[in-house]
Structure formats: structure tokens, C-alpha cells
Chains A and B, each alone.
Chain A
Amino acid sequence: MDIEITHVSKQFGTFAALNDVSLTVHPGELVALLGPSGSGKTTLLRIIAGMEQPTMGTVLFGGQDLTGHSLRQRRVGFVFQHYALFRHMTVFENVAFGLRVKPRIHRPREAEIRGRVMKLLSLVQLDHFAKRYPSQLSGGQRQRVALARALAIEPSVLLLDEPFGALDAKVRKELRRWLRGLHDEMQLTSLFVTHDQEEALELADRVVLMNNSVIEQVGSPQEVYDHPATSFAYEFLGHVNRFDCRVEDGKVAVCGGEIVVPSGTVNGDGQAVAYVRPHDIEIFNGAVMAGQPAVVRYLTAAGPVAKIELSLAGDGALIEAEIGRAQLHALDLRVGQPVYIRARKARVFSAAMH
């Protein structure tokens, strides 16, 4: 089922949590709502679920306007950040809940409930834990119970609020991969909220980047990472070095080098901000054409890429760079060593847009 959100705004008193947000989610898609705290991503998810009513705008499910419909009428599977499992019920009863509270005419018979719950539990690999209570499970297991419970009502869409937020790093990665596999199997339209860009980029078909109550950019993980549409997108997705600069004659001077600004991205000459990814910083041992002198301040070589922190000779500004290990050995870098750096490429935004 597709979800169409048109011109949705949400006001909490004087605070605008969402400001004219429009978004279409296609059937079977896995979409990430990504943004920092306070960006409005959770509010958007809650409005889709029917837990909040939008101040303005509409939410269509498969073309049907459900704006005024309550949570229980929407048949939306919702997985809560802290799982919200029913503490006094066993895992089995938690998953069965949605079936047991159906109106008598629609309620499946006990044997059928049993069968469906056990099927779901084996889907989330918890069939041996049916008789346990939530307090006897680990975080990752609880998360999967919450998922099974949400799936039990055969929802038309699945919504997950920070699904991995409360888990530790290792479990989080495993569960992420597992969830992706499950989604590919079930093809259920799904949205999840996260503030972790790595999670969004790795898991989602499409990423909806939110900031300050509006959508900054929508696109595939590749698109939003390689072509951030706004300076916020640039700063939020991955590490980045930021340079204040001036556009003159369609060019900027960044890191000693001159970079041509593609026409149309900046409104004429003037103050601008240039972003350079760490892996787009080149390091040289000797003086090079259009290079800028800098000093190595810190380096870590654990892992496939070496992370190097440099300070510029002029203002002492800190720059992050990433180079391959082979190159690190070739350069033979040490802390305190003077080097030259150059930006391979940069993305420039007018300062006014920022």
C-alpha cells in the first residue's frame, strides 16, 4: 500500500514540529526518516500512525484519506522505540493480543490464533521463547517480539520508531541486516525513524532527510550521500570539512586550490561555504601547485583507512582527512610533520542559503 502525505503541518502550541511536509511512499518500499533530534521525524511517523492529528494537510493510505481515523482503525503496525511490550503477558500473549482484541465476529478461533502466533514467532526466531515474559528477554529479543506483535494484525504498513536505538552496537548491526532480509521477504511498505545516518544509508531504499520541521532531501542512499542537496545534508551525512570562502568569477579558493563552481548552484558571487569530504583531501610531502601548507596533528591508522587530523598553517583550522593505508606508508606521515594538502573536489553553497 502506498502512503501519500500532502502539505502536512503540525503545531504544538507555538512550536511548529512539522512545516508543510509532503512525501509519497511507494508500495513495498523501505523508507528511512533521518534527522537530528527535534527535526520532526518522529512527529511525522506518529501522524502517519494516527497517534497525532496533523494541524493541516492530509495522509492518504492507498488513495484513501485516513486523516481523521484513529490509530486502531488504521491497521498500522507500529514498533515502539522502547518496544512497549505488555509486561504482564508472555511473549505468546503479547503477539496474540492484536488477534484477541478483534471484534467477536472477526476474531480467529483459538487454534488459528495459536497457529498464527507460532508462525510469527518462528519468523522472528523466537518460537522457543513463547512462554517467557518480556523481562526475561534481551533487548534484541524484545525488539523482535515487538515486531512480531505488530505483524500479527497483518498491517498494511509497518512503522518503526528508532527501532535499534536502545540496542548495543553489535546487536544493532545484526538486527539491521536481519530486518532488511525480512523486509525483502515480506515486501511490506515500511518507514523507520532514525538519527543514525549509517543505519539509514545501509538499510533503506530511500532516505528522507529532515531538519527543522521540513524535509531537506529525499533520495536513494547513494543520491543523498553523493549529491547532498543542501548544506545541512552535507554536514549531516558523513564527516565533512567546512570552509568559509568567497565566490569570485564563478570560482572559489579552497585549500589553496581554485575550484570552479558549477553554474546555478550559487547565486552569483559573494560569501559562500565549501564542503570537502575527508577522503577528498589529498596530502603531499613536498610543495605542490595550488596546495596549502598544514601540520599533522593526530593520526589513527587502525582499520582500512587512516584518519588524519591536520591544522592549516594560516589560521590553524582543523581539517580531517582520510587516506588509504598504502598511501600512508608511502607518505610516511608522523605527528608534527609539515605537509601540503589540496581539495580534490568541493561542494559550494551560498552563505545566504545556509
Chain B
Amino acid sequence: MAGAATSKSRIAAGEPLWLRLLLIALAISFLILIVILPIAAVFTEALRQGIGAYFASFDDPDVWSAIRLTLLVAAIAVPLNTLFGVVASWAIAKFEFVGKSLLVTLIDLPFSVSPVVAGFVYVLVFGVHGWFGAWFAEQGVQIIFAVPGLVLATMFVTFPFVARELIPLMEEQGNDEEEAALSLGASGFRTFLRVTLPNIKWGLLYGVLLCNARAMGEFGAVSVVSGHIRGETNTMPLYVEILYNEYNFVAAFAVASLLAMLALVTLVLKKLIEWRFGASTVG
């Protein structure tokens, strides 16, 4: 009797109508000012000189090499971090051990480190004067100012995304189903594939999505290790900066518009997963 019927009108503990409207108006204005205006600006600036100028921006071969590099970096960093996320969540969510909360904290660490610092530490390790820089140089492998450095820096900043999504999800689901599968004679790996994975697939997808968005859009960390070599070590965000600093605003915003579209697609997919799967189990 209480449920559906009474949840509709709660006069007793509600705000007066004018206050509700004021708060809604405030919330909408804040979101327009802070969030919506910038994304609108990306597209208007990109199209400021017409659609022709917009598409002409993509005639530049350096744009295409930046796009290819961004895809390549994400294609390496995201699967590795996904694998790590799954492995780490299994260890953390399914077992109790000493130091577990410290481990969880350490996994979160990259979120609290400035991306610039993240990039810089790789320079210290793999740069010319770094710990291993000289050794790698002797082997003819360049890490800093090259693709491996970009991948490493990206991996650092996107490190926690998948694990963060999966740990609470797997903890909530407990071990019962897995134990049942094992008692029925399934191997550990099969149990994971057939029992655990189907249970966490939406959460996993969600984590991968966020990880990918960050990997493709990362700026600070890759900026430090990139060296900004045109056509070679510029990812899309880095190339946006170069174009912008050259006052080539239309091209800068045109490339930025691709990244903005990536963000919008990510958002739509994210919301689809949430609505389909229930916000309680993801995020």
C-alpha cells in the first residue's frame, strides 16, 4: 500500500514549487555553462569557416598519422590493462589476504598522480639519462620520444579503470557460483569463462569503455614522453595542441571534434549499459 501509491506525492517533506523550479533552473544553467557550452564550442569553432574548411583539415597527412598512432596506442594499452584488471579483481575480490586494502589503494594511485608526473617518471626510467635508457639504447630500442613510451605512459594513467569497475562487482557477487561450478567438476579457467565472465561482462565492458576513452584522450602524460615529432609521435590530442599553437584553429578544432565525437559515443554507450544493466551494478 505504501510503495507505488505514496511515493508520488510527498507534500509533507517537499520544497515549495518556486524553490523546486529555481533549483532545476540553477542545475540546468550550471550544466550548460560548465559542461555543454564547451562541447558546443568545439563543433562551432571547427565549422566556423564552413564545412569545406572543416574537411580540408583532414587533408593533412600528419592528422592521419596522429589518428593511426592514437588507435595503435589504445589498441595496445587497453587490452593489457583489461587483462590486468580482470586478473587483479580475481585476486582481490575472491580471496582474503593481508595487505589487501593497501593493494587496492595502490591500484588507485595513478588517479591521484598528476599525468605530467606520470609521464616524467618514465623519462627518469627510460630516458637517455635514466636507469635503463642507456641499456635500451644499446639494444637499439628507443622508448622515450617513441611509441613504447607513449604506450607506457598511457598504461599508467588508465591503469585503474577496469579493476576499479570489477572489484566491487565481483565482491558483491561472492564466490558461491564459482564454488558450485568447481564442485561440479569444472576447471578453474572454465569456471572463470563460463561462470564469472558472464556475470561481470557488463561491468567489464563499462570499464573498458572508460579506459579506452581516457587512453585515446590522454594528454599530459603522453605530452612529456612524446617529443612532439610530427608524423611520428603525435597522438591526436598532442596534434590538437600543435595546430592550436600554430593558430590553425579550424584544423585544431576539427581534430578535436573527432575526439569530442569519441567522447559522445562513449557517453551514449555508457548510458546504454547503465540503463540496460541497472546503475547499481556498474559505476
Contacts and interface: CB of A to CB of B under 8 A. Distances in A.
- The reply, when asked whether chain A contacts chain B directly with Cβ atoms under 8 A, is yes
Interface residues of B, number: 11
Contact of B9 (A15, A40, A52, A72): A52
A13 interface: yes
A350 interface: no
A51 B1 contact: no
B1 A39 contact: yes
A51 B10 CA distance: 6
State the majority secondary structure of interface residues on B.
Answer: loop
B66 to A, nearest CB: 52
A262 to B, nearest CB: 35
Interface in B1-18: 1-2, 4-6, 8-13
Nearest to A81: B2
Nearest to A37: B1
B1 A42 contact: yes
Contacts of B5: 12, 15, 17, 43
A81 B2 CA distance: 10
Contact of A70 (B2, B6, B8, B12): B12
A41 B1 contact: yes
Q: Which of B5, B8, B11, B13 has the most CB of A within 10 A?
A: B5
A70 B11 CA distance: 8
Interface in A258-315: none
A13 B11 contact: no
Interface string A1-36: 000000000001101010000000000000000000
B6 A52 contact: yes
Nearest to B7: A12
Contacts of A70: 11-12
Contacts of B2: 42, 81, 161
Contact of B12 (A37, A39, A43, A51): A51
A163 interface: no
Interface in A31-69: 37-43, 46, 49-53
A167 interface: no
Nearest to B2: A42
Contacts of A13: 8
Contacts of B11: 50-53, 70
A50 B12 contact: yes
A52 B12 CA distance: 7
A26 B5 CA distance: 28
Contact of A49 (B1, B4, B8, B12): B12
Contacts of A37: 1
Contacts of A318: none
B105 to A, nearest CB: 26
Contact of B1 (A43, A53, A71): A43
A81 B6 CA distance: 14
Interface string A189-227: 000000000000000000000000000000000000000
Contacts of A51: 6, 10-13
B24 to A, nearest CB: 22
A17 B5 CA distance: 7
Nearest to A195: B1
Contacts of A81: 2
B266 to A, nearest CB: 37
B8 A46 contact: no
Q: Which of A15, A37, A46, A71 has the most CB of B within 10 A?
A: A46
Contacts of A15: 5
A37 B13 CA distance: 24
B1 to A, nearest CB: 5
Contacts of B10: 51
State the 8 A-B residue pairs at the shortest beta-carbon distance, nearest first.
Answer: A71-B12, A51-B12, A42-B1, A12-B5, A42-B2, A38-B1, A17-B5, A37-B1
Given A12-B5, A49-B12, A71-B13, 4 more contacts: A12-B6, A39-B1, A51-B6, A52-B6
11 contacts: A12-B8, A17-B1, A41-B1, A42-B1, A42-B2, A42-B6, A46-B6, A50-B11, A51-B11, A51-B13, A70-B11
Interface of A: 12-13, 15, 17, 37-43, 46, 49-53, 70-72, 81, 161
